Structure 1
């Protein structure tokens, strides 16, 4: 088995206790390797290292910091095949996607480095002989607690900007798929950053994540994950009044208006529904279709869903791999059962594959529910799996009200041939991002935020 170590104070280390935990391949249910089981002791060591590194790193010229961030990006590109292989092993990401996720992560670091070099202080007009200007300063030690649905990408989304602007950090990657993070630890250990600038600790969120978010020497917590965990972290961080950046759940409305191009709508929404096995915060959670198109849309959506190839992530033909863990599969299957029990019409899937080799692994076949109504659990709760929920609507006012009647407001999409309608929905939908005739048209240089939870 390949050995992986944590990164603390510039050194690759095992847990002081010697304890480890297994990493499971979600496509085969086999143990891939064992990782160090970090504890509060490692958290304290890592935070102290980051705190000690901060004066050195923050005073380094911004051009030099950005050069080192770009070196990390270059090293990720050089190791993209290995990082992709690890993504396949512990997350089940299809091969055709895994390599590009690594390359995209490097691109995020490059963008952050280039942006930080051009961040300017602002002169503010003042009266008399007074000179007033703003100065951008780093926060200090930042805890990054990242999710399992895109393990390397979610680290690099935050890592580049925080390093380039002079912060140091402790990264707590998801325990179930930390292989890429620990490969990143190896890469960073060779770059020449001041020891302690970046620290990476593996272990359960209830232990490592809690200790980090409560630690008095952590100045900011940046978290991406579920609302339930996010609320715990907010409570922990509030005890020392930390700065926080939180990206939590989504139950995104995708709306097909009566004048939509059905080929475009079906094609885009099917891909968005099953990409990364539905484990994307921007995936459609509620698909609203105008009554005049409803039957035809459902028919086409089901037929297109049948073409989605679920299979071995190592196979280049595979579009959809397994969900990430047995626990998550149980959660998704529980929501599928609730949809059936509450009266939604199961049009496709709703079960595991039965034929070898897919009868092993945490697979769920593409699943489509029609006739979903607001009183159903699958309508209200984030599923985070390959499950489509299709809802009929009659008027634009009705669907705008329904789409906004949810605790989540991350993103939304509307499909229409009418520019004015597209603009109206973009204005009235309570979502941080609204796409028109598109999905996940996002890039590093665009803002990403939302409403409510």
Structure 2
């Protein structure tokens, strides 16, 4: 069996000193917030409102690291951790992931997609020598990281279709692979009395950053008694959203990558062809944002959706709310479970047994709240899904282990 992880690690500062470094980065964020916000607007294709919210989340996440110190007692660093971060990351994801690796005493190597090269320089300036940033193509970086004897763990974000192919390499090299993948998250409306609250939550969580978040709910199952009111309320709320140029301070929905816009177009054509009613709240428009070709796709509501349609089965990653009427709570649960993905699930209506059942198929379950409201309350809540939404592969006690479910990076980046 490969014996990675038995590398002698140079002495590192104690946990308190490393926490001081993270606190310094956090203070730098606060001191430079206005400039960082402007830089992100100039370098990334996301709306200022989204960037500002992500900056605030980054601060709250870094501040929360002090609270996890007791959980690190008796734990040791892995040695060196490589991070392949996603292109939709702004500040909170990169900084919290790097901080988790640093707090546990690791040396950290970071790669962002090449189209984010300029933003990587901003992040590198923020964290200083806490992490080393490398300019490398994606597949090349993963192969490089897994073949380097001194790299003990690789964390990668992306598509499960290509990630699954790295299992053999993980077995052979002994590199711990932590994969964070896509979602097709269900949102269940089980109580007619909660229609207004559920509709507001659905629109906020489903269209935040134009749906470009893995944990955005993408398929909505509504009991018959609540269905008509929910569709009407969601449609009214979606019409109020401002879609446009991300540099405009009033914009809530920014443009998408062309490949995503094309996927949405194909899903909508499929849905209409199979009987759904699709409400487009505006016209698609090509845009150039900071040198990137993008397509503005205003929010879309799909009523009368069902599982014959690709919009209910395949990841969308855009501002689309696809709604299916269900005849019962058991039917809603069966449909929610009917997916190869299991990142998170949301339910409005406190029905006995619902949360426990969804926890078996999904990493996180939100009851009468959303992933957005949960992360505001618990910025370092566990993350990670089940099935093809994410996993950890590693050698333990002479056995190759495959596991999934919610996890904390500060525990994955350390050993007992």
TM-score category of the 2 structures, normalised to the smaller one: 0.7 to 0.9
Give, in angstroms, the shift of residue 234 of structure 1: 4.2
- Aligned equivalent of 1:448: 383
Give, in angstroms, the shift of residue 353 of structure 1: 3.8
2:342 to 409, 421, 424: 409
1:439 to 336, 360, 370: 370
2:15 to 40, 62, 78: 62
- Correspondence 1:36-435 to 2 at 5 A: 55-56=9-10, 58-112=11-65, 114-115=66-67, 117-119=69-71, 121=73, 135-189=74-128, 193=129, 198-323=131-256, 325-349=257-281, 351-353=283-285, 361-416=294-349, 419=350, 421=351, 423-429=352-358, 430-435=361-366
- Aligned equivalent of 1:11: none
CA–CA distance in structure 1, aligned partners of residues 85 and 286 of structure 2: 33
Give, in angstroms, the shift of residue 208 of structure 1: 2.6
Assess, with a 3 A threshold, how the Cα gap between structure 1 residues 312 and 367 changes in structure 2: closer, same or farther. Answer: same
**TM-score after normalising by structure 2:** 0.82
Give, in angstroms, the shift of residue 393 of structure 1: 0.2
- SS of the residue aligned with 1:288? strand
Alpha-carbon RMSD across the aligned residues, in angstroms, is 2.6
**TM-score after normalising by structure 1:** 0.76
CA–CA distance in structure 2, aligned partners of residues 333 and 63 of structure 1: 51
- Aligned equivalent of 1:28: none
Quick check: 274-283 or 207-216, which moved more? 207-216
**C-alpha contact 1:250 1:281 (8 A) present in aligned 2:** yes
- SS of the residue aligned with 1:221? strand
When Rg is computed on C-alpha atoms for both structures, the one with the higher figure is 1
Assess, with a 3 A threshold, how the Cα gap between structure 1 residues 165 and 355 changes in structure 2: closer, same or farther. Answer: closer
**C-alpha contact 1:171 1:201 (8 A) present in aligned 2:** yes
- SS of the residue aligned with 1:334? helix
CA–CA distance in structure 2, aligned partners of residues 305 and 401 of structure 1: 28
- SS of the residue aligned with 1:315? coil
- SS of the residue aligned with 1:287? strand
**C-alpha contact 2:362 2:385 (8 A) present in aligned 1:** yes
**C-alpha contact 1:171 1:199 (8 A) present in aligned 2:** yes
**C-alpha contact 2:285 2:295 (8 A) present in aligned 1:** no
Give, in angstroms, the shift of residue 178 of structure 1: 4.1
- Count of aligned pairs between the two proteins: 374
Assess, with a 3 A threshold, how the Cα gap between structure 1 residues 350 and 251 changes in structure 2: closer, same or farther. Answer: farther
**C-alpha contact 1:345 1:370 (8 A) present in aligned 2:** yes
Unaligned segments of structure 2, at least 5 residues: 1-5, 389-416
Assess, with a 3 A threshold, how the Cα gap between structure 1 residues 157 and 233 changes in structure 2: closer, same or farther. Answer: farther
CA–CA distance in structure 1, aligned partners of residues 118 and 92 of structure 2: 13
Assess, with a 3 A threshold, how the Cα gap between structure 1 residues 260 and 146 changes in structure 2: closer, same or farther. Answer: farther
Assess, with a 3 A threshold, how the Cα gap between structure 1 residues 142 and 291 changes in structure 2: closer, same or farther. Answer: same
Unaligned segments of structure 1, at least 5 residues: 1-50, 122-134
CA–CA distance in structure 1, aligned partners of residues 34 and 162 of structure 2: 32
**C-alpha contact 1:311 1:320 (8 A) present in aligned 2:** yes
**C-alpha contact 1:144 1:222 (8 A) present in aligned 2:** yes
CA–CA distance in structure 2, aligned partners of residues 354 and 383 of structure 1: 19
CA–CA distance in structure 1, aligned partners of residues 149 and 280 of structure 2: 51
Q: Which has the higher contact order (CA 8 A, sep 6+)?
A: 2
